[in-house]
Structure 1
């Protein structure tokens, strides 16, 4: 009897071990119950880091495999050529600002006084010329003076009057100041110079290449001393967060899931289960990609969905195949 009990006990123990290791071969329900299983891969999310300005690389401060935080310095370009442009832009702004101020402030008191003095001189000259004409007028008919001298006196009077009118207009302009159109043009020139300075300042900032997101350096493509053009890849960074899974659901199971559903993500050889949420389901059907290992035919129509993993770690790698369990999926239709 004891041997029989021992045999029964060993059999039950063996069955329990088999159920634990193999999830019961279908005889014992798994932790996921009747969960819908989907298949996919961890998204590969990389960004090629490049300078927006041309130049010679001065430093590259990271190596492949380094973890970088958002805002971390990655590399620099020699800023000397752009520094020279920045100084030139500053000088242009100062010149334009001075020209505008000159027009806005109007003429100096000394300039107005000088114009008044010219008017006074012109008045005196014009008065003398008129006096000469009036003194010589009675002498023309008797022939006391020549016709040529008389005509010269008239010309000198007219010329003096013209110079007086010119001096008076110059005084009026000195008192009035610059035209509104000239001030507006000077203002526009100042704004253009300031815009050019901002552009150079942006270029100067672009000589520093910084990380825009947290990640891992996977490729160091260029080295210090190399000449690079705008947009030429210097480093490639793999984005660690947020970690996303690209999975696929068959057409027949599409109605069983919805955005916002909680899921469990598992990877081969990794005992940990990761929590996730369905964030997006494609409205367009496609054929199952060859990179996805599924239990169905690869020619089946499927819909792509994106899952955001809530608690990732370094054991979950980009491009890794995963199995997704949707425990809250609606029951399958018969």
Structure 2
């Protein structure tokens, strides 16, 4: 056979061998690293009411501590509602204190007058009963007359006792129903004041944790709609690694285990703690371009790093071995 004909055939065979090796070799060997990236979960802070941003205390990229002031949305309307609720609390507390004081002297005089009138009617009824009793016995009056007089006397005595009980309750300040009603109004007003304070605090939120200001969407003087994010924070504890493991190695990864990883420009020996392993497999996302993992079924794993990283940064994770 002519050497000129053999040369192209040999070159084609070599090319096929090279392509086959490049295609199959990664699938026959275990990958040295797992590809992944850093992801952050921001916190979006907003106000529950629409208004002008009166103050903005931070800028994009700034580090803030837990409890730091961030921004203030016009609090005028909510402050007026809070002041109204505070006035309602003061009013109901005054009413409750007044209810516990009992009747005043002018009111007690009314009770004394009622007792005097009841005593006079009782005296007359007793005297009438004393006169009528012997006359009934003598047959001058019918027995029914005695029953009527006796009933009238008993009613007069009951009225006198009731008037005295009312006077005693007033002296002791035992208007329990009024006191309980006044206390209920105080509790209701206090709850309204607590709600007003909470709404007022919502227009000037504080940083819930140490974080970086990722984005500021509104500046001082701009109008912000209700529940519209005004800025976003990225706390360190909401930054995580996301990487994908082959299904054959899935059993080696579980929450609580530690993985080692590396990234460009990072220190050596970095670690992260696994806190989530997806229960469902998936195909390698397009963002992962490693030839070893392509077209394989993988599981998502999330881990919390021990150092601060930047979202979007690629990382290489050292694979784990089952049982270790």
Cα gap change, 1:271/1:66 in structure 2, threshold over 3 Å: closer, same or farther? closer
Cα gap change, 1:205/1:259 in structure 2, threshold over 3 Å: closer, same or farther? closer
**1:317 aligns to what?**
310
TM-score by length of 1: 0.67
Selected match of 2:85 from 62, 66, 89: 89
**Correspondences of 1:219-230 after superposition (within 5 Å):** 219-230=215-226
Cα distance in 2, alignment partners of residues 285 and 194 from structure 1: 53
Selected match of 1:175 from 148, 168, 178: 168
The Cα offsets for residues 62-103 of structure 1, whole Å up to 9 and x where unpaired, read as: 112222222211101233322322222122112212222333
Q: Is this contact kept in 2: 1:79–1:204, CA < 8 A? A: yes
Cα distance in 2, alignment partners of residues 99 and 55 from structure 1: 37
Selected match of 1:300 from 279, 296, 321: 296
TM-superposed deviation, 1:58? 0.7
Cα gap change, 1:94/1:256 in structure 2, threshold over 3 Å: closer, same or farther? closer
**2:277 aligns to what?**
281
TM-superposed deviation, 1:221? 1.0
Cα gap change, 1:295/1:53 in structure 2, threshold over 3 Å: closer, same or farther? same
TM-superposed deviation, 1:164? 11
Cα distance in 1, alignment partners of residues 74 and 91 from structure 2: 28
**1:23 aligns to what?**
none
**1:13 aligns to what?**
none
Cα distance in 1, alignment partners of residues 269 and 49 from structure 2: 42
**1:40 aligns to what?**
36
**1:59 aligns to what?**
55
The Cα offsets for residues 20-44 of structure 1, whole Å up to 9 and x where unpaired, read as: xxxxxxxxxxxxxx88521111012
TM-superposed deviation, 1:167? 8.8
List alignment gaps of at least 5 residues for structure 2: 1-29, 128-151
Selected match of 1:270 from 258, 265, 272: 265
Q: Are 2:186 and 1:190 aligned?
A: yes
**1:18 aligns to what?**
none
Cα distance in 2, alignment partners of residues 123 and 261 from structure 1: 90
Q: Are 2:244 and 1:248 aligned?
A: yes
TM-superposed deviation, 1:204? 2.1
List alignment gaps of at least 5 residues for structure 1: 1-33, 132-157
Cα distance in 2, alignment partners of residues 225 and 83 from structure 1: 19
Cα distance in 2, alignment partners of residues 258 and 163 from structure 1: 88
Q: Is this contact kept in 2: 1:278–1:305, CA < 8 A? A: no
Q: Are 2:321 and 1:329 aligned?
A: yes
TM-score by length of 2: 0.69
Q: Is this contact kept in 2: 1:251–1:302, CA < 8 A? A: yes
TM-superposed deviation, 1:233? 0.7
> How many residues get paired?
264
Q: Is this contact kept in 2: 1:274–1:310, CA < 8 A? A: no
**1:200 aligns to what?**
196
TM-superposed deviation, 1:285? 1.6
